[in-house]
């Protein structure tokens, strides 16, 4: 039976400071491990929205719209464990190396983030300790335990992207990103196209896996785990029906 377990944030009011990591279906039998680093746009009240309004905090700059819903559906469909973040990417981006300019962005897309300007080292360390490390340590412990039992893992990170970026249209419905797992990535692309011939799915769009990424290199390639990142255009998964539809597409493609 699927289960959820929460990793606890240290000594903070849980009403406003939720766990940094939710593990869904931890005992799932699938070798696939789902990761959703941009699942939430939650921001504790003390941050006052980092100086942004509610409209900005509902945009892609704060989270990946629809990605959490797709991940939850997939976890159930595949009987796969899933790791979902509890905080907004504007506080600290779980898919960026610590210290990278985009880790705690002063500007996201074209939007200035006032609460991240001139941030001191103490606050940076606090966000790392409360939000970043608990998430990735939880994933690492889980993968270590699987390896110790002789069980393999396949990493699939779920993300979404905007249809337009800096005025440029992005025509694809989805992209499958990979570095070392090219064979797996191309198999998933062909399987997605087979599920619906109308889908425009390409490799390594609208982004590529590079030194600015974290989950795929660290939990996947460096550990020898096949690892891909799936980007879905967010207007396609912004509704419950859309998220369920895409989870169905991905279920078939990942089992191909």
Name the pTM for this structure. 0.94
Backbone angles phi, psi at 207, to 5 degrees: -130, 175
pLDDT tens-digit profile of 27-84?
999 999 999 999 999 999 999 999 999 999 999 999 999 999 999 999 999 999 999 9
CATH code of the domain covering residue 48: 3.40.630.40
Distance separating alpha carbons of residues 73 and 246, to the nearest angstrom? 9
Residue whose structure tokens are 């597409």: 249
Domain count, the chain: 1
For residue 133, what are the domain limits?
4-254
Cβ neighbours around 146 below 10 Å, total:
16
Distance separating alpha carbons of residues 33 and 188, to the nearest angstrom? 15
Q: Between these two residues, 9 and 218, which has the higher pLDDT value?
A: 218
Token readout for 58 is: 């509902």
């Amino acid at each position: 039976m699927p289960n959820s377990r929460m990793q606890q944030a240290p000594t903070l009011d849980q009403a406003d400071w939720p766990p940094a990591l939710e593990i869904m279906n931890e005992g799932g039998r699938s070798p696939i491990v789902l990761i959703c680093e941009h699942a939430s746009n939650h921001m504790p009240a003390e941050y006052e929205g980092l100086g942004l309004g509610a409209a900005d905090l509902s945009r892609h700059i704060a989270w990946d719209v629809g990605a959490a819903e797709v991940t939850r559906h997939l976890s159930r469909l595949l009987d796969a464990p899933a790791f979902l973040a509890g905080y907004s990417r504007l506080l600290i981006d779980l898919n960026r190396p610590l210290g990278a300019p985009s880790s705690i962005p002063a500007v996201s897309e074209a939007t200035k983030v006032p609460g991240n300007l001139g941030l001191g080292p103490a606050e940076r360390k606090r966000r790392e300790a409360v939000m970043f490390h608990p998430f990735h340590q939880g994933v690492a412990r889980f993968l270590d335990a699987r390896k110790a039992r002789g069980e393999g893992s396949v990493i699939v990170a779920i993300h979404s992207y905007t249809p337009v970026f800096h005025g440029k249209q992005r025509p694809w419905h989805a992209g499958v990103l990979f570095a070392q797992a090219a064979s797996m990535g191309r198999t998933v692309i062909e399987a997605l196209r087979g599920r619906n011939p109308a889908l425009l799915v390409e490799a390594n769009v609208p982004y590529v896996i590079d030194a600015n990424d974290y989950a795929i290199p660290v939990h996947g390639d460096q550990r020898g785990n096949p690892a891909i990142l799936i980007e879905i255009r967010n207007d396609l998964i912004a509704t419950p029906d859309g998220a369920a539809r895409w989870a169905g597409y991905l279920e078939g493609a990942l089992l191909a």
